[in-house]
Amino acid sequence: MKRFFAPGKLLLTGEYAVLRGAQALSVPTLLGQSLGIEEPTTNSFLHWQAFTEKGELWLEVHFNKALEIIQCAQPEKAQDLQKLLRQAQALGGRIQGPLLVQTHLQFNRNWGLGSSSSLCALVAEWLQVPALPLFFNALAGSGYDVATATARNPILYQLESAKKGVFEPVSLPPILQKSAFLYLGQKQNSAQEVGKFKSRKAHTKDTAAISALSRRLLQCTSKAELINLLKQHEEITARTVGKVPVQGTHFADFEGVVKSLGAWGGDFVWIVESKPQPHYFEDLGYDEPISFNKMIAGSYFSN
């Protein structure tokens, strides 16, 4: 049996702005998704099963040799998978069935850690095709998430053109270990948010400012400096998307900074305290924040 693994991701800087060419800092998460190839248990050319982090089967698709869907209870999800597989074939990938393919998530699908992007990276590795071209042909977005899953390292990512992304591996400053992440429990529709952002007027200086902040963050040495950089990032992004930062709407009395990650209004936020505030978020009805080190591997930090 063959098995592959791809990590999830968190985009620390450059949400929205990465779509306009800003340098964005992305990190792989400890949790990810696996893909296993096994002997078939049915007569289907390709029998696909996808499982949640709890081991529950959430998607099952049967394909024939032409990758036509012959059985599935979720046609829209099946069509997304079909498109990904066919685009992999178009790039030279060969599916030698009959096969049973099983994927297993290690994180909640609603967390926004990259169930689709990690799947794209897994399919690319399995079928030995380039991951970023596969992403641009089959999915929508900047591609930073697939690049992160493929690099398996923190990266500075930049979209040079509509279908060309470049990235460089980087090390994280140790001060980030003094921060944490909080899941808001409000999954956003990324495609809709991207569409809204693209309809807004672009400002070159804001894109350049986000790039500069991404690079400065990699050199950050103190919590006060980190808080200041993230507040600047929130102010610029708020202006470009026309929204109030999450700290202003939900955590106005928090001492430190709460920065949105991904599409504003959902998924995770990044927290840096200026002083200890025990149980602040739990008292507001949220789960306990997840420390940076429990989400991101310690080997990614500079000495």
What is the separation, in whole angstroms, between the first and last Cα of the chain? 39
pLDDT at 88 over 80: yes
Q: How far apart are CA 8 and CA 115, in angstroms?
A: 7
189: confidence class by pLDDT, cuts 50, 70, 90: low
pLDDT digits (tens, 9 = 90+) for 225-238: 999 999 999 999 99
Helix (H), strand (E) counts: the chain = 10, 12
User: CB pairs under 8 A, 24+ apart, for 59-67?
Assistant: 65/97, 67/95
How many C-beta neighbours within 10 Å does residue 71 have?
13
pTM of the complete model beyond 0.85: yes
> What domains does the chain contain, in order, with CATH numbers?
2-169 (3.30.230.10), 174-300 (3.30.70.890)
Average pLDDT over residues 207-215: 97
Cβ–Cβ < 8 Å for 32, 109: no
pLDDT at 19 over 70: yes
Phi, psi values for residue 284, rounded to 5°: -90, 0
Cα-based angle 127, 144, 153 (whole degrees, multiple of 5): 80
pLDDT digits (tens, 9 = 90+) for 252-267: 999 999 999 988 876 8
Q: How far apart are CA 296 and CA 215, in angstroms?
A: 19
Mean pLDDT of the chain: 93
58 alpha carbon, distance to own chain's centre: 20
Strands (E), the chain: 2-11, 24-38, 46-51, 57-63, 69-72, 99-105, 155-161, 164-169, 180-183, 256-260, 268-273, 290-291
| Beta bridge mates, 63 | 46, 69
Residues 6+ apart with CB under 8 A from 184: 246, 250, 265, 266, 267, 268, 269, 286
79-109: b (≥16 Cβ within 10 Å) or e: ebbbebbebbeebebebeeebbbbbbbbbee
Cβ–Cβ < 8 Å for 33, 106: yes
Six token digits for residue 50: 């996808």
193: confidence class by pLDDT, cuts 50, 70, 90: low
Task: Give Dmax over CA atoms of the chain in angstroms.
Answer: 61
Phi, psi values for residue 64, rounded to 5°: -90, -175
pLDDT for position 198: 57
Phi, psi values for residue 39, rounded to 5°: -65, 140
